[in-house]
Amino acid sequence: MMKRNIWVLPLLAMLLLSSCGEYNKLLKSTDYEYKYEAAKSYFAKGQYSRSVTLLNELITILKGTDKAEESLYMLGMSYYNQQDYQTAAQTFIQYYNVYPRGTYTELARFHAGKALYLDTPEPRLDQTGTYSAIQQLQMFMEYFPESSKKEEAQNMIFALQDKLVMKEYLSARLYYNLGNYLGNNYQACVITAQNALQDYPYTNLREDLSILVLRAKYELAVYSIEEKKLERYREAVDEYYAFKNEFPESKYSKEAEHIFAEAQKVLKD
């Protein structure tokens, strides 16, 4: 169940903070109660850089008071709304570690995962951040299995897994395209694609990964030494049957049939 709204502010604070001059005076003030209300006011108006500045000062000062918890969560949301997702995630993680049963723990865990999700790189780049996002979202679902945000979290995990599969597909395709450049890369293609199929059996890229395996096994046979040629052509034929069985109406059917026919020619000679 989502918690109470924390952004209700006194009208007086909204009016007092209307000018830059007032803001500069506020920064020098030692009236921390006033600064706290001002930070909430700036947050409500979408002036997140100002709320961040004030809240970063107040976090330590308010420690141990009833306002400390709210301030830390609001700081995380300020970073989040500024699209500083890495800092936001760190702040949300700090929040739920300090307040494991806090008022905003459910939201903090959710937004820690979502912030990392929004910060993940394109598939060609290093995917460390993607693994971190999946971990945070899975933890959120474990701690709050009945949350109203469960479905959104699950959909983000699926999208992140798709990104990881795409990373493996691009790697396997690269190995295949490299061919015999600086060595035989076809075996690396087979291993990479098969690992992706095993790790993500329900991926939408299953057909594309499977045809890569078939292509690479055939090329392995073509470029094998004589002692291994027949064995590897047989492996390519076996792979063809497995591919045809799983994808009888494949968009790659013509290519698969051609590979099969070429392999059979060698095996019949």
Q: What is the pLDDT of residue 20?
A: 63
pTM, two decimals, is: 0.81
Q: Across the chain, how many H-helices and E-strands are there?
A: 13, 0
Quick check: helix, strand or coil at residue 141? helix
Rg over CA atoms, the chain:
28
For the chain, the distance separating the N- and C-terminal CA atoms, rounded to the nearest angstrom, is: 71
List the one residue out of 107, 111, 146, 144 whose CA is nearest residue 2: 107
How many CA atoms are closer than 13 Å to the CA of 239, on its beta-carbon side? 26
Specify the pLDDT at position 2: 46
pLDDT at residue 1, as a whole number: 44
pLDDT, one tens digit for every residue, the chain (269 residues): 444 455 444 444 554 545 566 777 777 677 788 889 999 999 999 999 999 999 999 998 998 888 999 999 999 999 999 999 999 999 999 999 999 999 999 999 999 999 999 999 999 899 999 999 999 999 999 999 999 999 999 999 999 999 999 999 999 999 999 998 887 899 999 999 999 999 999 999 999 999 999 999 999 999 988 899 999 999 999 999 999 999 999 999 999 999 999 999 988 86
Give the Cα separation of 207 and 156 in Å (integer): 23
pLDDT recorded at residue 180: 87
Residue 55: the pLDDT is 95
What is the rounded distance in angstroms from the CA atom of residue 167 to the CA atom of residue 139? 24
Measured in degrees and rounded to the nearest 5, phi and psi for residue 134 equal -60, -45
- At residue 21, the pLDDT reads 67
Tokens representing residue 172 in the block: 């396997």
Rounded Cα distance, 191 and 99, in Å: 45
94 neighbors 68 (Cβ within 8 angstroms):
no
